[in-house]
Each structure stands twice: as structure tokens, then as C-alpha cells.
Structure 1
Amino acid sequence: MIEIFDSADDLALAVSRQLAARVHAVATAGRTPRIVLTGGSIATKIYGRVSSENADWRVAEYWWGDERFVPEGHEDRNDRQAREGFLDRLGIPDEHVHAMPAHGCELSMAEAADAYAKTLPEDPFDVVLLGVGPDAHIASLFPGHPQVHETERLAVEVFDSPKPPPERISLTYPALNHTRATWFVVSGADKAEAVAKAMTGTPIDQAPAAGARGLEETVWFLDTAAASRLPR
């Protein structure tokens, strides 16, 4: 499914509202909503539009698709972005926020990745949010890197990210695809070619975004610029 919006602001508002509706529906059904968050500029816009009027976000639990292996609280960390954007603002309980280990945690990156894998739920996530880079990467799964071929470990260490900082932890396809819904959120003309590659059958080694999909639902939320290279 593809949903296209006139602007990044319109996209962010729509995703925030649909995510609120999903959290509310899952909670109403008697389950704990489980959400995987992403980072990036469009995520910042989405988080800024999250409102307590639409759902009780405190009942949900939150993980991340990837994280920069820098010290806790560092401006490069995705969890800081989400905390400042809405988690702290809406009073999400600390025990519902499953941040990835930070540099200085006294674990090697491989140990940190394995430790994070143990925090993941056995049941599928309800929504995995994914941004897409200009090179069609998702989380910290990059084109041509061995992590895109991982089939057993749920989280892996990344030492040589082509996008700084180079050291990261990332969920793998076995974890990212263990979700009822995968929502790609992509804005900007610089992402248009990557979106087109991912949506037209490019191998995952060249376009990792092509390998992510939900068990029940996969939605591409795009602004017109990001959708500009799609076949008509």
C-alpha cells in the first residue's frame, strides 16, 4: 500500500494520527501495543505531532530499529530524539522504553547487540517504523554489508557504517519483519531513487529497504518528492 502526501508536514501529521489509532485499537483489544521507533528528520516531525488526545501512549512499549553506539544522552542517539520528541513529554514509563545499550556500558558491541535481542518480545511487534536512506538502507542495514544477509541473530553490531557515526547496533530482518505492520516513512527528493529501487524488486544487497515487510500490512508513507521516481 502507498499513501502519498503533498508535504512532509502532511505526511507527519497523518502518520502520527494513524499510529495513535493503532495504539488505541491494540490497547482496546486487550494487548500491549509494541512499537519500533526510527530516527531521522521525518521521525522528528512525526514525534512532534504525537498527542495524548488521540491515544494513551503510556500503555505502549517502545524499541528502536537501530542506534548509534555513542554515549547515553549523546545528540546522535535515536532514543534521545524520541525522548525529546514525545516519550518524555507524554510521560512514558521508563520500564516501557527499551533503549539500546550505549557506548560506555562495559559491553562489547557484539555483547550489546545480543543483550538487546533478549529484550525483544516473543509476539510480533504491532508497528515497525522505518526511514529509508538515499542509498536505500533501513535501520543500520546498508547496501553491500554482510548484516543484510543475517538470518539468525536478531540484533547485530555494525562497525563501518558509511553514514557517521560508524559504530552502531541494528535489528536484522528476522526481528524487523516479526511485525504485524511495517510502515515506511520517507520524505524528500533525495530519497526518491531509493524508494523506487526498493519498491520495484531490487535485490536487498543493493536496496535493503526491499527486504522489510509486515506479516499483515506494509505501507509506504511518502511525500510527493519521495514518490517522484515511482513508475506511473
Structure 2
Amino acid sequence: MTNERRVIVHADNSSLASAVAARFITKTVDLIAEFDEASVVLTGGTMGSAVLAAINLSPARDSVDWSRVNVWWGDERWLPAGDPDRNDTQAREALLDHVPLDPHRVHAFAASDSGLELDEASEAYAAELAAHSPANASIPHFDITFLGMGPDGHIASLFPERGGVREREKTVIPVRKSPKPPPERLSLTLPSINSSARVWLVLAGADKASALGLTLAGVSVNEVPAAGVEGRRTTLFFVDASAAAQVPEHLITPGQFWTGADDHGLEL
């Protein structure tokens, strides 16, 4: 199947993180068996870190050949290396430092103390993406891209009513005057995100309910950037019950959207 868009509802954020972790492990094992590697794009935020921590705690964690996993990030905060608010720092603490990854397959954004300016760091990450891409392409093959979503509907560091969400040519952009701190960031663009075979949005909390409802109702991408997310094969919204509170009932129907109880046979 292609262009599937589904909502999977779990009772709370703990069961949500555990369920997504289990799916990730299963899918990654399958991808490596079929293609000899798997590429994942990580996100930050509370649930992004919670999923990685749940993967680390899973008894099945070591069934993954981590040396065959390529790791990228969807966005990063322009802060010094090792800063606790950087997405890569949080990912390393939650999972990456606990598994035998090949360091050459881990592609972090440059830090603010790297000697590069923000624009240069954006160009450097774009060049790194291109260097690991198929011929005549500017983005590697991404198997799974994780995203969070803010209460305003932002994804990665693409914010409502900002030029970044409308960028269609570049693969990576510098972000200035972000409406949430820190003000300077780096982000993949929407076309880069949507190049992924699978996009998994993981959301928890009542403060996400309105934005999720608007996303599924098809509002403009300029107003709610999450509305523009569409993986090439599947776009899955893994949510807790609080975040699902404003999802219109007619959207949670077989054939279009599923709840956690109905997701057997879901294309991972």
C-alpha cells in the first residue's frame, strides 16, 4: 500500500512509547534483513526521547544489528556540542550511547561551537545528505522519520506562518527567530521529510489535541505545518488518548484511520 495515513491511539504516554519502540525494533530488523541496512531520522522532544529510552529498555533491543543503522536528525538546536538541550545529546543519552552503532553512520548537525556559522552549518548538512544519496539525488533513502509536533502544529523546526515551511528547493535550512527557544536552529525541509518511506509522528498530551485535529482536517500547511507531512508509503500518527481528544470521529474509520485495537496488519 502507498500513501496510507493512520492514527493509532494508546491509553497513555508510557504505553505509547513502548508500543512505538516495539514497532521500530521489528521494522528495523526486517529492513536490515532485506536491504542490509536501515536509515532513521530522529527527533527531539519529550516523546522523541521517551521512545528511544523505551527502545533501550526493550528486551528485544539487541535483536537489531545496530552497526547497520544509519542515524540522521530532522532538526537541531544551535547550541554547543554536548548541551543537554541539543537533540543529539538527548538521543545519545537515551539510546545511542548504549548500542554498538558505527560512528560513521551517525550524522549529527554541527554545533554552535564547531567553528561554522549557522548558514554554513546548514550547507554542510545538506552536503552530507547529498554525499550519502543515490546518484542524481540530494537526500538519502530514509526508511523511518520520527517527528514530534508542537501545540502550534510545528514539526522539526518548521513553524506556522514562517518561510521555512514553504521552502521547496533546499533540503536543509537555517532557522532564526524561532518562536520557541533557542532562537537559532537547523531543520530539514518538508520535501526532505516527505522523502522518507515512513513518517511516524509520536504525540502525547491534551495540548496537542487541537493541532492534531486541524492536521487531520486538512488545514493549510502554512497554518499547521504537520498537515503537510506525507511519507511515501505511510504516515502514522501514534498518539495517546489525550492527544486524540479532538480527532473527528468520522476520521477514525476502517480504511482511513485506525485505533490501536484495530491495527493488526498495519504496514509498518
Q: Please give the TM-score of this superposition, normalised by the length of structure 2.
A: 0.84
Which range moves more in the overlay, 85-94 or 136-145? 85-94
Between the aligned partners of 1:55 and 1:91, the Cα distance in structure 2 is 10
Partner of 1:225: 242
Conserved? CA contact 2:48–2:147, under 8 Å: no
User: C-alpha deviations, 1:58-103, integer Å up to 9, x for none?
Assistant: 3101011000000000011000000000000113221121000100
Residue of 168, 182, 185 corresponding to 2:202: 185
| Post-superposition offset of 1:54 | 3.9
Conserved? CA contact 2:44–2:87, under 8 Å: yes
Residue of 149, 154, 157 corresponding to 1:140: 157
User: C-alpha deviations, 1:38-68, integer Å up to 9, x for none?
Assistant: 0111112111111424422331010110000
Give unpaired runs (5+ residues) of structure 2.
1-5, 134-139, 250-268
User: Do structure 1's residue 159 and structure 2's residue 176 form an aligned pair?
Assistant: yes
Give unpaired runs (5+ residues) of structure 1.
none
User: Do structure 1's residue 124 and structure 2's residue 129 form an aligned pair?
Assistant: no
| Post-superposition offset of 1:150 | 0.5
User: Do structure 1's residue 109 and structure 2's residue 109 form an aligned pair?
Assistant: no
Partner of 1:100: 109
Between the aligned partners of 2:75 and 2:14, the Cα distance in structure 1 is 24
Between the aligned partners of 1:151 and 1:184, the Cα distance in structure 2 is 21
**One-letter amino acid of the counterpart of residue 65, structure 1:** G
Partner of 1:25: 30
Q: Percent identity among equivalent residues?
A: 40
Conserved? CA contact 1:23–1:57, under 8 Å: no
Q: Give the SS at the match of 1:41.
A: helix
Between the aligned partners of 2:34 and 2:100, the Cα distance in structure 1 is 22
Conserved? CA contact 1:6–1:223, under 8 Å: yes
Higher-Rg member (1/2) = 2
Conserved? CA contact 2:17–2:54, under 8 Å: yes
Greater per-residue helix proportion: 2
Conserved? CA contact 1:184–1:221, under 8 Å: yes
Aligned residue pairs total 232
Partner of 1:9: 14
Q: Please give the TM-score of this superposition, normalised by the length of structure 1.
A: 0.97
Residue of 46, 71, 78 corresponding to 1:69: 78
Alignment of 1:72-83 (within 5 A): 72-83=81-92
More relative contact order, 1 or 2 (CA 8 Å, 6+ apart): 2
Flag the 1:220–1:39 CA change in 2: closer, same or farther, 3 A: same
